[in-house]
Amino acid sequence: MIRGGMRPKKGNQMDRKKFISGLVALGAMPAATGSLLNALPAFAADKPDEQKDLRYTANEITDAGANFFGITTEAMAKGVQHVFADLGEPDAYIKGDEGSGAFVVGLRYGSGWLVRKTREPKQVYWKGPSVGFDVGANASKCFTLVYNLREDKRLFQRYPGVEGSFYFVAGLGINYQRSGGVTLAPMRTGVGFRAGVNAQYQVYSDRRDWFPL
């Protein structure tokens, strides 16, 4: 017989053992959790670059551009190789028609389709003033590579021309425009690139607007 107190019940002893076992288990959890968290970066690193699957290869752009312009793949490939060497693989492109005219100061208007993988084509419009050195007007096709777009709405802004970025490769006039992290590389054929050489800026939108500025 135990004096000065009550004899502990057997059930209480079992509960105490469960409690102590629980503490031991909790003490082991941080190590196990740490091991799990340490494994996560390695798993993420092994994941393929999903964004790369949404970009266009040089062959894809060459075929699309050659069909659009109606030129040989060899001619288009030379222009594409030049842009890819500077900017890499685009995540979208715009194909459309434009008209421009100039008497020292000119205007350019265009419309076309924004093409992206896994999305329906979206109609877009562009406009902008230019400085020309001749008098007249022309119409042309324009095939524009788009970089770092991510969201369609990022396209809709004003793009100044990158100084000194005009190139003439295999009958294609190419220049670069950049704004807000997005880079454009318009490619034009024939006389259509005339005003493009001196375009000061170009504005893209999702609706037509005839106001030139």
Domain residue ranges of the chain, discontinuous segments joined by +: 9-47, 57-205
166-205 in b/e form (b: 16+ CB < 10 A) is bbebbbbbbbbbbbeebbbbbbbbeebbbbbbbbeebbbe
The overall pTM is greater than 0.75: no
Among the listed ranges 93-97, 118-122, 155-159, 162-166, which one has the minimum average pLDDT value?
162-166
Q: What is the DSSP letter of 82?
A: H
Is pLDDT larger for residue 114 or for residue 172? Answer: 114
Proportion of the chain above pLDDT 70, given as a percent: 61
Token output for 175: 């220049």
Token output for 204: 């893209």
Per DSSP, the three-state class of 49 is: coil
Among the listed ranges 3-17, 31-45, 73-87, 138-152, which one has the minimum average pLDDT value?
31-45
pLDDT at 196: 46
Mean pLDDT rounded to a whole number for the chain: 76
Is pLDDT larger for residue 170 or for residue 132? Answer: 170
